[in-house]
Each structure stands twice: as structure tokens, then as C-alpha cells.
Amino acid sequence: MNGLKLKAMDAEEVAILSAAMEGAITSPGELSYSSKSRHFTMTASRFMWEGFDRDVSKQGHRIRSGLFITDILTAHRQNMPENPDTALELLSISVEAGNDGAADLVLHFAGGTSIALGVECVDITLTDAGDAWETDVIPAHDLDKENT
């Protein structure tokens, strides 16, 4: 299976990228923010939604993925576990457009953890790496319940 390489530069593209990342498993130790370089990175095991049909298959695939966000002006985290090995499951990435291309991006994780990034402009890259592997654990969430 070939992996994805996606670039998001506006709210519509962020929604597509967010759908591809839903259910990605990461940990605080796989998150990195550099205020000097103004970028955020996340590595994760992404569920490969592309080509998956829940009505037909009981198994899916995961692949290692990197998320790279640039042009960050501010970064804030909420309810982030202190243990760097604690599993975090990404639910969605939301964007609220501001003035002159600026925006607020929020990475929403299960359990109420979130990362808010104020960006000069939306510039996110998702890159899959390596070989995919089979999994019988299919992400399933009640997003309304998770985000309240």
C-alpha cells in the first residue's frame, strides 16, 4: 500500500487532512514545537481510511506518518499528559480563519487534550513513511461526546 503526502493551505484542505488523520495514535514524546524555527511536528501511527470500507472489512491498515506545521506564532496545550509515553488519539484538526491569512489551528485528542496553534498562514504537510501493517482495531468515536 502506498502512503499519502498531503498539503493543506486553507480551511477546506485542513478538513481533508483532518479526516485522513482521524484516529492517529501518538504520544507527548512524539510531539515537538520549536518557537525559534516556528514549527510543530507530530509523528503518529495513522489509520489508513483511504480504501477502507467499514461495511466490507473487519481489518484496516496503519502507517507511520509525520505532520509538519509551519509559520507558528503561538502554541498552547491543554490537559497534556506529563508522561511522554501516554497514548493520545487524534480526533480532528480544526481551523478558524483570521485576518490576512492568519488562523488558529486546534488539534483535538480523545480525553479532552488539545493543542492550539496560532499561525501566520495555514501550511500543514502530512507525509506517510514506511510500510503499512494490518490492524483489527478500527477507530470509532462519538465526536459530539468527546468534544463536550
85-122 tens-digit pLDDT: 999 999 999 999 888 889 999 999 999 999 999 999 99
81 lies in which domain range? 5-139
For residues 120-147, average pLDDT: 84
- Does 144 fall in a domain? no
- Does 146 fall in a domain? no
Instruction: Indicate the SS3 state at residue 7.
Output: strand
Domain count, the chain: 1
Instruction: Answer whether 22's CB lies under 8 Å from 90's CB.
Output: yes
- Does 76 fall in a domain? yes
Instruction: Answer whether 14's CB lies under 8 Å from 67's CB.
Output: no
pTM, full prediction: 0.89
Instruction: Indicate the SS3 state at residue 134.
Output: strand
- Does 51 fall in a domain? yes
Give yes or no for residue 2 having a pLDDT over 80: no
Question: In sequence order, what DSSP letters do the residues of 15-72 get, joined into one string?
Answer: HHHHHHHTT-EE-GGGEEEETTTTEEEEEEEEE--TT--TTT-S-EEEEEEEEEEE-E
- Does 27 fall in a domain? yes
- Does 145 fall in a domain? no
- Does 148 fall in a domain? no
- Does 72 fall in a domain? yes
Our measurement of the distance from residue 94's CA atom to the centroid of its chain's CA atoms, rounded to an integer in Å, reads 10
Q: Residues 18-58: pLDDT tens digits?
A: 999 999 999 999 999 999 999 999 999 999 999 787 767 78
Among candidate residues 102, 38, 122, 100, the one with its CA nearest the CA of residue 75: 38
